[in-house]
Structure 1
Amino acid sequence: MSDIITITGATGEIGGRTLRTLHEAGAEVRAVARRPEQVARFKSEGIDAVLSNLDDVEALTKAFQGSDQVMLVTAASPKQAVHGRNVVLAARAAGVRAITHLSTADANPESDIPWARAPWHTDQLIQLSGMEWTILRPSAFMQNLTEFAAPITRGFFPQTTRRGRVAWTDADDIARVAATVLREGVHVGAEPVITGPELFSARQVADTFSKELGRRVRYIHLPSRVFAGVIRLGGADAWTAEGLRHQFARVVRHGIDHADVLTDDVERITGRPATTLEAWVRANKTRFAR
């Protein structure tokens, strides 16, 4: 049986970090990339790579040939559910033994957040696929706080969550969990919820930035539609801005769909504690420098 671990979304944040963590540990990995220059870059790094996109089940099936495990990572987009379905169909057709899905902690088929609805549907397909599986359920990524770098630099953290709290999670920790699961290769239908070590309200996030940056950063509460407008001004399209409005104004603000979940799964799986928000801000100070 081949030990190849094939990763979709390998050019993205979590998929890429997982791929390189496994590669550095000596695992046999394969990246799925949608552009020839991406394939060439992986190969120049000594990483096997194949050209495919998540719209093409036939090409994906070829990309997965010989793989023991597939890590399924899909980008948030209007086609996310279709892409998830295509990967599951292709993995099954290629005879893949096990699939690990980067889902989300707030997956819900009734959610107003498109990137919470789509993973839920993919999760159901995986559970019915006949393959072995693990579903990873990460909380909000600390790296997404860089989207607020401009206002934080000016001393403000605009949000719409009021007292709602979330356990911000370092993408490196998510990738460490994924790499550990894939390296061990044991899949028994587990659904670890990957979170940081502490729940934070938006005001507490602002206070953490104040402490670590050495200058005051104030939480500014915005009505949800104003918040969406600010997101649009930052360059996001309407689809993304509306999803973020629902995510923060409804789900996080009111603590629904496990938005305020807190676990020790990072340490339990990897043997190392999850990164604190303080440590992450300290390590990324330059992104928020004046």
Structure 2
Amino acid sequence: MTKHIVVTGATGNIGGHLAHELLRRGHRVTAVARSAEHLEALRQAGAEVRPGQLSDVAFLTDVLRGADAAFLLLPPNVTAPDNLAYQDALGQAIAEAVRASGLQQAVNLSSIAADLPEGTGPIVGVHRQEQRLNAIEGLNVVHLRPAYFMENFLPNIGLILGMGINGSATRPEVSFPMIATQDIAAYAAALLAGPALPGGQHAHLLLGPRNYSMQEVTAILAAAIGRPELPYVQFPYDQAKQGMMGAGLSESMAGLYIEMTQTLNAEKAMVHEVRTPENTTTTTLEQFAQQVFAPAYQAAAGAAQPVV
């Protein structure tokens, strides 16, 4: 059965993969993102595109009305002066639009550790959004709770090129689950394109292929880019926060990331989730390193070379 499926965040890593996969399966896709220019590739692939702001309740209500299902998320805004307030305002607008539109089926992008109400930094925002969506009468919703994105290592390319190290505030030996965003999109596509979602509210963990430590991550990335000597350096929290702010993050966002890292380092969350065949996905960090990280590294390294 052909479905009409709305994909918000359609130009992001997950939304882009998801929209293209749903089109490949023959479904009618309405792709939503801020930029019409960035939506052009999806328009050419056959999607209906609706550029606009998810904070615009009237706009989003109109987009969702009549759809069979939707993929929902809170797009990140790392420069927001108060990040949790940003997530709350946007989440409330999305929930209002879902309620007003009469949408009955949704897959919502949440996060590992979203079952916890505090102490998890930016994940607190998606915890609150789960509660908002759960309160909407008549909405059947599946919350996807994926592990740490492998794509989060891409910003470290600048650190590798500039300082010859890989580093963060995370303890080098703490092992936790990591996932490629393409696997999240594939899981969401299977839910949205399949039979009707289960009734009520459900949460599904997605834990990637296995747990990795930052020492292992660094060795895998280093091998893929031909720099086997690359060391991993654990930064003090204050230094890591200043580094994030220097890279353009707001003090609020940097502080939330530090809070999340402190919880991870204390092994209070994320590291003890029970792995099952249902929540284990296939793309390994080794595959990600070869297919995504190494090409991005080579492109950045080439761009950094002086023109002779």
User: Normalization by structure 1: what TM-score?
Assistant: 0.89
CA RMSD of aligned residues (A): 2.3
Deviation of 1:175 (Å): 0.7
Structure 2: give runs of 5+ residues left out of the alignment. Answer: 78-82, 302-308
Deviation of 1:238 (Å): 2.3
* Pair 1:168-2:175 in alignment: no
* Pair 1:180-2:190 in alignment: yes
CA–CA distance in structure 1, aligned partners of residues 51 and 281 of structure 2:
36
- CA 1:187–1:255 in structure 2 vs 1: closer, same or farther (change >3 Å)? farther
* Pair 1:246-2:254 in alignment: no
* Pair 1:31-2:31 in alignment: yes
Tell me which residue corresponds to 2:296. 287
Deviation of 1:144 (Å): 0.9
- CA 1:208–1:2 in structure 2 vs 1: closer, same or farther (change >3 Å)? closer
- CA 1:94–1:165 in structure 2 vs 1: closer, same or farther (change >3 Å)? same
SS in 2 for 1:109: coil
SS in 2 for 1:110: coil
The answer (yes or no) to whether the contact 2:10–2:39 under 8 Å persists in 1 is: no
Larger mean CA deviation between 49-58 and 19-28 belongs to: 49-58
Tell me which residue corresponds to 2:238. 225
Cα deviation per residue 1:23-56 (whole Å; 9 max; x = unaligned)? 1221111112334444555433321122431222
The answer (yes or no) to whether the contact 1:103–1:123 under 8 Å persists in 2 is: yes
CA–CA distance in structure 2, aligned partners of residues 145 and 262 of structure 1:
24
1:1-290 equivalences in 2 (<5 Å): 3-38=3-38, 42-77=42-77, 78=83, 79-107=86-114, 108-111=116-119, 113=121, 115-130=122-137, 131-153=139-161, 154-162=163-171, 163-188=173-198, 189-214=201-226, 215-248=228-261, 250-261=262-273, 263-264=275-276, 268=278, 273-283=281-291, 284-289=293-298
Deviation of 1:264 (Å): 4.2
CA–CA distance in structure 2, aligned partners of residues 286 and 2 of structure 1:
36
SS in 2 for 1:137: strand
Deviation of 1:280 (Å): 1.0
What amino acid does structure 2 have at the position aligned with 1:136? L
Deviation of 1:112 (Å): 5.2
Count of aligned pairs:
284
CA–CA distance in structure 2, aligned partners of residues 150 and 32 of structure 1:
30
Structure 1: give runs of 5+ residues left out of the alignment. Answer: none
Deviation of 1:73 (Å): 1.4
Tell me which residue corresponds to 2:306. none
SS in 2 for 1:19: helix
- CA 1:37–1:80 in structure 2 vs 1: closer, same or farther (change >3 Å)? same
After TM superposition, where is structure 1 displaced by more than 4 Å over at least 4 residues in a row? 38-41
The answer (yes or no) to whether the contact 1:158–1:227 under 8 Å persists in 2 is: no
